[in-house]
Chain A
């Protein structure tokens, strides 16, 4: 079945052609001569078939036809010369048979020629194919092997033809599957592995076709294969790469999501006046993003994103979810992101505030980039780092340092009170001593009047000294540069509670603050009112120190009183005030061993200086409540804000 190579050298072919033509010519004349002059009676003209068959090997279609015709004419000439005018006998029959034979041989030669030409064409097509074409017989023996097969496997046709295909190439394929496919459909397509001549193992995509003889019996296979080793390797690498990307995407400790911005980008593109650069225009028109209702489509999110946005599962964030929308107030940031990416930036980073699915505000440091592949803007990768805690810590730090400065100012009350106590204590001590001393001098058998007079002088002077201290202190509390301003009362109370946190923890006190909703504005001196609040809170805490068997609760409440005043109540559940509760505001009244009894007296001075009133009462069950009032701020007064304001 090996077909002669197409690119046959021209010279040998022409030589052979000439040889055959000479042979055909000589044969023809030999037959003619013999036919003409031989005395033997026989169908010699039948031998012209040899001439036709010879020419048929090399001649053209017309050449064969002319040869057949020429042979017929030669036979006719010979017959006419020998038998013209003879009566009809066996010679006529022989001549007729010869002509029929020549005619038949010519026709068959022509048909064989055209069949051979078709086969040669087909064979050339096989040769031209880049794929391998191998034809095998029923015993797996290779009977045809094209140049493609040579190139791929490394075996030349001469080496391969006649060998067992399986032995030569060490085939590996799903035999059962192939058998059943060939049996049922007559062909099979799939992948198989083979060795090349140099020993490398390759993967092939192969198509096998069952060859059948005219009776329909299987007589082997025709197969065409292409090397897909490189493609398979590239596919596997691509899959591995995609898998690696997925793994990183999903296991990253920070939120990642991928979104399709095609529509949004297209929408904005349309809004940009022609001839203008998108990036430049967008930076000046961030409102377009807000106006734009074109959806962004979220393709994929990772588990960290699910956690960050308080979602129950990935699906909650896919599609047209909260991640698809610019958080309110962050249009400028997103416009700059879009502008940056449109301007060709590799990566753009901005901090924005999102609301999670549960409504929790979170600060997210967004890092966005366009992914290569596919439509531009169809894959925008966003990486979000949760910086809420960092921001909170930073603002807490700022707040703490402001509070520290503030607390230092508030604590000067304590220092002031301590120094006042000492200053009052000394003259008091002296007065008592001089008094008792005078009594002793008088009680002597001979009273020493001079000593008594000295004692009395000292009593007077020490009394004045003590009074001076009290006067100075009260003046300080009453007039000490009172700065009347508008204050958020509830905020002030919360700050004061924060200042006594240490005491609250130390004595395991439960603090409750009820304000009845909105914060109210009052007028007063911020520091002084806070001093009062801290003082009352500490008193309440100390009153509950020894409480056992019930909850130690410090309850601070705010309520309106007669429209123009707000009333703040500080309620403890200690043992209450024995005697007249109003006495506690008198100077030097104290129930504490360490106390100097000035705190509430000063508190009263402060509150009264701000136009308020302070009062105390025992609770019906446990403890006491100290309440004070402050005037409500008029609506048009400027507002001074809370803890961050260090100017107070």
Chain B
């Protein structure tokens, strides 16, 4: 197991979705922070401590793709997992292009989500040892 809990940030405009995921990932032993919008995540100091970002695609204001673009622009060093209730090929392709580590359909199977998150975390940690700035995972 990990020496210290990984910090997972969840961005979703639906309160029930983000709180249920928070409950589940906490039960799985993770440190979870939730945000109701992309903007609030970007402003938050928690961003620097993020080990993995889980974001919805369709949100009022800045949406999931916009958030990914913004993160790429300012530089990020954590993997991104995308969720959506409207999984289109185009959205999936664009997310992959922007560097998303996983693309999940809603309703979310939390087991699958945990699996994805755990899958991307060790890779990131391994890289962090090599160098802190080679963040963008493709």
A interface with B by C-beta (< 8 Å): 421-422, 425-434, 436-437, 440-441, 444, 448, 451, 454-455, 458, 461-462, 465, 593-594
Contact = CB atoms under 8 A, between A and B. Distances in A.
A437 B108 contact: no
Nearest to A596: B85
A593 B86 CA distance: 10
Contacts of B19: 430, 458
B17 interface: yes
B49 interface: no
Interface stretch (B22-30, B71-79, B118-126, B127-135): B22-30
A458 B27 contact: no
A598 to B, nearest CB: 14
B16 interface: yes
A426 B27 contact: no
Given A436-B111, A462-B16, A429 B106 contact: yes
A425 B85 contact: yes
B110 A426 contact: no
B23 A425 contact: no
B24 A426 contact: no
Contacts of A465: 16
B14 A426 contact: yes
A426 B108 CA distance: 9
A430 B17 CA distance: 5
Nearest to A442: B27
Nearest to B109: A432
Interface in B32-49: none
B16 A440 contact: no
Given A433-B20, A458-B16, A428 B107 contact: yes
Contact of B23 (A427, A429, A458, A594): A458
B21 interface: yes
A interface, over-half SS: helix
Given A422-B85, A458-B16, A462-B16, A432 B110 contact: yes
A435 to B, nearest CB: 9
B23 A454 contact: yes
Contacts of B23: 433-434, 437, 441, 451, 454-455, 458
Contacts of A433: 17, 20-21, 23-24, 108, 110
B17 A429 contact: yes
Which of B21, B23, B28, B88 has the most chain A CB atoms inside 10 A of its CB? B23
Contacts of A440: 24, 27-28
A425 B111 contact: no
A429 B20 contact: yes
B110 A436 contact: yes
A421 B24 contact: no
Nearest to A429: B107
29 contacts: A422-B58, A425-B106, A426-B16, A426-B106, A428-B107, A429-B20, A429-B85, A429-B106, A430-B14, A430-B16, A430-B20, A431-B20, A432-B107, A432-B110, A433-B21, A433-B108, A434-B20, A434-B23, A437-B24, A437-B26, A440-B28, A441-B23, A448-B27, A451-B27, A455-B23, A458-B23, A465-B16, A593-B87, A594-B88
B27 A429 contact: no
B107 A425 contact: yes
